[in-house]
Structure 1
Amino acid sequence: MVDRPLTLMAVHAHPDDEATGTGGVLARYAAEGIRTVLVTCTDGGCGDGPGGAKPGEPGHDPAAVAAMRRQELEASCEVLKVSHLELLDYADSGMMGWAANDAPGSFWRTPVAEAAARLADLMHRYRPDVVVTYDENGFYGHPDHIQANRITTAALELSGLTPKVYWTTAPRSMMKRFGEVMREFGSDWEEADTAGSAEAAGAAEPAAVPEMPEIGLPDEEITTWVDTTAFGGQKFDALAAHASQGENIFFLKMGKERFTELMGVETFVRVRDTTDAPVPENDLFAGLR
């Protein structure tokens, strides 16, 4: 029997990522008395500025954006009842191909060993039983998400700890449903102007942005389906706390009821386990309690 609380550690790239992919499990497990630790790797400075100003446009001040997003992150954590927020505070690297990828201090440019050592220190402090981050492609190819996967993997090795480890994902069946709902609300699911965005943000070679692999996994490859329906309102409110990025948070357009209907289950792939809990499972802490 452990003499400390069961602990979930979620390692995310930017302010607002915690709500999008894991807001439900953070809220659910906090309500169940589990200690929840959120590690946010970057300052979010490549997010939208006032009036939706993009990086490199007039009115976009990365330091001011980062300060605003920190306030929003703290508000989101309050909504989700996150026990501990830890900030690595690297500079946001922007989308793949942006000049910000190689800017001094960017997370993408930071040596994995350096950031992993800092994360390993946090792992030693909190001794998580479950660690959640992104897959090796960062779910959708974002450099900071990819780097979060890399430093989490390295930090686990450095720490010598053996928590259950999960990568966030989405079932392909749900991705199809996302597309239907987005079109219903006037968005084009197929449209992805990554190269244009890179050019606007000062990328030298926007055309060189690699093609993104298909998002999500076939349903049968997903190991863990966690029902967070009861916490859909909290997850929605946590996303809404990131108001400065509202233009990019499509889900806020649909209202709490539709949002909860669509986002009431969070899905994961279990990539490390010592409990032998059978899969598919419906609890990240299966085999631990």
Structure 2
Amino acid sequence: MVDRPLTLMAVHAHPDDEATGTGGVLARYAAEGIRTVLVTCTDGACGDGPGGVKPGEPGHDPAAVAAMRREELQASCDVLKVTHLETLDYADSGMMGWAANDAPGSFWRTPVEEGAARLAELLRHYRPDVVVTYDENGFYGHPDHIQANRITMAALELTGMTPKVYWTTAPRSAMQRFGELMREFGSDWEEADPAETGSDPAEAEVMPEIGLPDEEITTWVDTTEFGGQKFDALAAHASQGENIFFLRMGKERFTELMGVETFVRVQDATGAAVPENDLFAGLR
């Protein structure tokens, strides 16, 4: 007899990541009575400051940005009905190649075993049935996303726990449509100026292809009913609105694009058949 509720734990890098990648499943499973736990690893201090001021520009106060983003994160959790929010509060490492990567206390610079030990404590406390984080490339190569994957997998090994484990992904079939919408709404995915962020142009890298072929995706979860909540959770991160092009679409178009969340299952002890449409298949 299980003496605790079914539990979903999502391990994310920054405030606002929870809404973009897993806002739908967090809202859906909360509505189904499942306990939802969000672990946010960094303080988000490399995000925009008031008025859209960028890291490295005059007037960007990392401590103030972190405090503001913490409030927005709580507001997002309230919208998604997240049961428990846990913050590890490592320093935001910025984009790959930024000077912030190697700043004291940055998540990227933190030894994996240290972060894993802290996350292992939360795993033992909540004993999640399902754990969600990023793939080994952090979905698109962000250092904090990569580190979140590393500490999550290391923490699971440390505890010996065997929940179902998923990595967020996107179907390649949807990427062309995604690019078309970005252009339609005036976004060209520009990166910040390396001169302003302290990054080294010599470290420019070829971006791995994002997402997976459709046939490699194991899990397709319909969260259309919760598209409005997901949109509102993103909107709660108002200070980063310039970077969240999804908000330009309006709820209807947003839900059309983001109404199904996709994952690849990398650990499972239930034997549930794939493809599946429920992270908790085989558990209830």
Structure-2-length-normalised TM-score: 0.98
Name the CA distance, whole Å, in 1 between partners of 2:17 and 2:193. Answer: 20
2 CA distance for matches of 1:150 and 1:140? Answer: 15
Cα distance in 2 between the residues matched to 1:209 and 1:183: 24
SS at match of 2:271: coil
Q: Which residue of 2 aligns with 1:208?
A: 203
Q: Distance in 2 between matches of 1:104 and 1:209?
A: 23
* C-alpha distance after superposition, 1:155-214 (max 9, x if no partner): 0011111000000000011111111111222223xx544xx53332112x2231322101
- Secondary structure of 1:182's aligned partner: helix
SS of 1:74 mapped into structure 2: helix
Code of the aligned partner of 2:252:
E
State the match for 2:194 in structure 1: 198
Aligned equivalents of 2:176 and 2:164: distance in 1? 29
Q: Deviations over 1:75-118 (max 9, x none)?
A: 00000000000000000000000000000000000000001000
SS for the counterpart of 2:250 is helix
Determine the C-alpha separation between the residues in 2 that align with 1:182 and 1:236.
16
Question: What SS is found at the alignment partner of 1:44?
Answer: coil
CA contact (8 A) 1:98 1:199 kept: no
In the alignment, which residue of structure 1 is the partner of 2:139? 139
Q: Which amino acid aligns with 1:18?
A: E
State the AA in 2 paired with 1:198: P
Deviation at 1:50, TM superposition (A): 1.1
Name the SS of the counterpart of 2:131 in structure 1: strand
Aligned to 1:165: 165
In the aligned structure 1, how far is the partner of 2:278 from the partner of 2:55? 39
d(CA) in 2 for partners of 1:76, 1:200: 29
Structure 1 runs (4+) deviating above 6 angstroms are none
SS in 2 for 1:101: helix
Task: Give, as a single letter, the amino acid of the residue that structure 1 aligns with 2:56.
Answer: G
Q: Percent identity?
A: 86
Residue type at the aligned position of 1:223: T
Residue aligning to 1:118: 118
Query: Is 1:186 matched with 2:186?
Result: yes
Q: Which residue of 2 aligns with 1:151?
A: 151
Counterpart-to-counterpart distance in 1, 2:140 and 2:8? 23
1:39-93 deviation line (CA, Å, top 9, x unaligned): 0000000000111111110110000000000000000000000000000000000
Letter in 2 for 1:252: L
Corresponding residue number in structure 1 for 2:42: 42
**Mapped partners of 1:141, 1:92: distance in 2:** 15
Q: What one-letter code is carried by the residue in structure 2 that aligns with 1:248?
A: N
Alignment map for 1:1-289 (pairs within 5 Å): 1-188=1-188, 192-193=190-191, 197-203=193-199, 205-289=200-284
- Between the aligned partners of 2:151 and 2:138, the Cα distance in structure 1 is 12
Q: Distance in 2 between matches of 1:13 and 1:277?
A: 29
TM, length-normalised to structure 1: 0.97
CA–CA separation in structure 1 for the residues paired with 2:276 and 2:230? 22
- Output the CA distance in 2 between the equivalents of 1:48 and 1:116: 28
The residue type equivalent to 1:224 in the other structure is: T
> Are 1:96 and 1:198, in contact at CA under 8 Å, matched by a contact in 2?
no
The whole-number CA distance in structure 1 between the counterparts of 2:170 and 2:272 is 21
Looking at structure 1, the residues matched to 118 and 45 of structure 2 have their Cα atoms a distance apart, in angstroms, of: 21
Measured in 1, the distance between the counterparts of 2:237 and 2:150 equals: 26
Q: Are the aligned partners of 1:98 and 1:206 in contact in 2 as well (CA < 8 Å)?
A: no
**Structure 1 residues without counterparts, runs of 5 or longer:** none
AA aligned opposite 1:197: D
